[in-house]
């Protein structure tokens, strides 16, 4: 500090340079203060508010959820989920197949809790950049509508780009939205499903068959060369090929078990009314459990397009004469009521394993080599 004072007292170039630096610093600080004051004076504070402030009072009237997405030059596509008189939500594009209740509820709840976090541009020229151009205009926006029984819109928006890596612990993230017919865009915070694949809205709850229950599986059961795979008890880990062709042996437990237990992990990719498919000389697989349940899968298609209709029945050969079959009868009735009218698209590996042939499960016995 003493050196700076001595420099200021002594005339010369160093003194002039130091004075210039002090004056410059003063004006820089003053300019920063003025700019900060101007920003505070001109900025408008926006507190997040509900995007649909009255929706919570009307949500009980909702009977239809509609998604509209763009398909390029082919126009648009809808996913329409409607609540029937019994309160079951059904997907109309799949002839009324039950919808995923958890996803429907999450979407409706997400609309009621959606927040308008910050206003963004109202210039329509920027709609495309934010993914908010209407699907009818070759845009990427997803139109989400919640309607009442008369078709009146309770809530509706266009959802655009999702801001990556913004989800909080409650699963709420940021996305751009705007009301249909309005140019004003918003950065919104919330959690709603924007899945454009109708199959992902189908209720995945179907027959669940544990691997431990499976006693016998017959592949190509109505053909002249079926493959019969069985095991002696639930505790036995491996299935064997009962009807080995003469001169053949099994390809091994991993190959046989893969087909025998394939249905234990059953998950379908899509569902259509069973009458919409033609089952012409189809492969049939029969699965029998230790407690007498029999599932018959009749299949159609090939490769990645394998479909199956599933019928449940009772296999009395697995039951004692005086066995109480009330629980089994109820299970059979439930499976047939739920699945009897539908054909299910199988996952590729499941389709391949349920159509495995006897030739694919066995191999010729190696002849001994000459000494």
Lowest mean pLDDT among 94-103, 114-123, 167-176, 267-276: 167-176
**Which distant-in-sequence residues (6+ apart) come within 8 Å of 229 by Cβ?**
216, 217, 218, 219, 239, 240, 241, 242, 256, 259, 260, 361
- CB-CB contact of 163 with 175 (8 Å): yes
Q: What is the pLDDT of residues 8-61, one digit of tens each?
A: 455 556 555 655 665 566 555 555 544 444 444 444 567 889 999 999 999 999
pLDDT of residue 239: 98
Tell which wins on pLDDT, 36 or 284.
Answer: 284
- The Cα–Cα gap between 115 and 42 comes to 24
3-state DSSP call for residue 210?
A: coil
238 closest CA partner among 254, 250, 226, 251: 254
Over residues 257-279, mean pLDDT? 93
284 closest CA partner among 305, 252, 309, 264: 309
Question: At residue 115, does pLDDT exceed 50?
Answer: yes
Question: At residue 101, does pLDDT exceed 50?
Answer: yes
Question: At residue 253, does pLDDT exceed 90?
Answer: yes
pLDDT of residue 305: 83
- The Cα–Cα gap between 126 and 355 comes to 53
pLDDT of residue 8: 45
Phi, psi of 48 (to 5 degrees): -55, 140
- The Cα–Cα gap between 286 and 354 comes to 9
- The structure tokens listed for 268 are 């379908």
Query: Residue 359 to residues 100, 142, 186, 320, 348: CA-CA distances in angstroms?
Result: 40, 50, 62, 35, 20
pLDDT of residue 6: 53
- The structure tokens listed for 216 are 């016998």
**Which distant-in-sequence residues (6+ apart) come within 8 Å of 185 by Cβ?**
119, 120, 121, 122, 126, 127, 130, 132, 160, 176, 177, 178
Q: What is the pLDDT of residues 123-157, one digit of tens each?
A: 999 999 999 999 999 999 999 999 999 999 999 99
Q: Which of 166-170, 177-181, 205-209, 364-368 has the highest mean pLDDT?
A: 177-181
Question: At residue 249, does pLDDT exceed 60?
Answer: yes
- CB-CB contact of 288 with 209 (8 Å): no
pLDDT of residue 265: 77
pLDDT of residue 2: 52
- CB-CB contact of 241 with 256 (8 Å): yes
Phi, psi of 101 (to 5 degrees): -65, -40
pLDDT of residue 40: 42
Q: What is the pLDDT of residues 193-240, one digit of tens each?
A: 999 999 999 999 888 899 999 999 999 999 999 999 999 999 999 999
Q: Cβ atoms within 10 A of the Cβ of 291, count?
A: 16
pLDDT of residue 14: 57
pLDDT of residue 168: 74
Region for 124 from its dihedrals, namely left if φ exceeds 0, alpha if ψ lies in -120 to 50, beta otherwise: alpha
DSSP 102-129: HHHHHHHHHHHH-EEEEE----GGGTTT
- CB-CB contact of 283 with 220 (8 Å): yes
- The structure tokens listed for 108 are 């409706």
Lowest mean pLDDT among 128-137, 164-173, 289-298, 300-309: 164-173
Cα 73 to its chain centre, rounded Å, is 26
Phi, psi of 276 (to 5 degrees): -80, -10
pLDDT of residue 248: 94
pLDDT of residue 23: 58
pLDDT of residue 43: 46
Percent of the chain with pLDDT over 90: 75
Question: At residue 169, does pLDDT exceed 90?
Answer: no
Q: How confident is the model at residue 281 (pLDDT cuts 50, 70, 90)?
A: confident
- Residue-averaged pLDDT of the chain: 88
pTM of the model: 0.79
Q: What is the pLDDT of residues 310-356, one digit of tens each?
A: 999 999 999 998 999 999 999 999 999 999 999 999 999 999 999 99
């Amino acid at each position: 500090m003493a050196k700076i004072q001595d420099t200021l007292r002594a005339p010369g170039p160093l003194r002039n340079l130091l004075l210039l630096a002090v004056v410059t610093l003063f004006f820089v600080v003053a300019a920063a203060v003025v700019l900060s004051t101007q920003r505070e004076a001109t900025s408008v504070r926006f507190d997040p508010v509900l995007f649909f402030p009255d929706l919570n009072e009307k949500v009980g009237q909702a009977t239809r959820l509609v998604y509209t997405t763009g398909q390029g030059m082919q126009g648009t596509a809808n996913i329409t989920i409607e609540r029937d008189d019994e309160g079951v939500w059904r997907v109309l594009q799949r002839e009324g197949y039950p919808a995923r209740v958890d996803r429907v509820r999450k979407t409706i709840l997400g609309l009621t809790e959606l927040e308008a976090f910050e206003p963004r541009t109202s210039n329509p020229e920027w709609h495309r950049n934010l993914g908010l151009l209407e699907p009818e205009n070759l845009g990427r926006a997803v139109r989400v509508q919640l309607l009442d029984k008369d078709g009146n819109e309770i809530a509706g928006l266009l959802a655009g780009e999702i801001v990556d890596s913004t989800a909080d612990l409650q699963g709420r993230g940021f996305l751009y939205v705007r009301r249909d017919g309005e140019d004003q865009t918003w950065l919104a915070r919330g959690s709603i499903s924007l899945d454009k694949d109708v199959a992902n809205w189908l209720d995945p709850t179907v027959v669940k068959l544990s691997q431990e229950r499976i006693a016998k599986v017959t592949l190509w059961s109505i053909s002249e060369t079926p493959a019969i795979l069985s095991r002696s008890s639930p505790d036995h880990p491996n299935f064997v090929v009962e009807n080995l062709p003469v001169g053949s042996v099994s390809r091994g437990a991993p190959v046989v078990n893969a087909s025998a237990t394939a249905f234990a992990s059953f998950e379908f990719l899509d569902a259509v009314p069973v009458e919409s498919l033609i089952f012409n000389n189809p492969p049939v697989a029969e699965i029998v459990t230790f407690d007498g349940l029999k599932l018959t899968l009749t299949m159609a298609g090939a490769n990645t397009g394998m479909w199956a209709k599933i019928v449940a029945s009772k296999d009395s050969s697995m039951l004692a004469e005086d066995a109480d079959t009330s629980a089994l009868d109820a299970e059979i009735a439930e499976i047939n009521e739920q699945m009897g009218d539908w054909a299910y698209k199988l996952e590729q590996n499941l389709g391949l394993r349920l159509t495995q042939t006897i030739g694919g499960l066995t191999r010729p016995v190696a002849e001994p080599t000459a000494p």
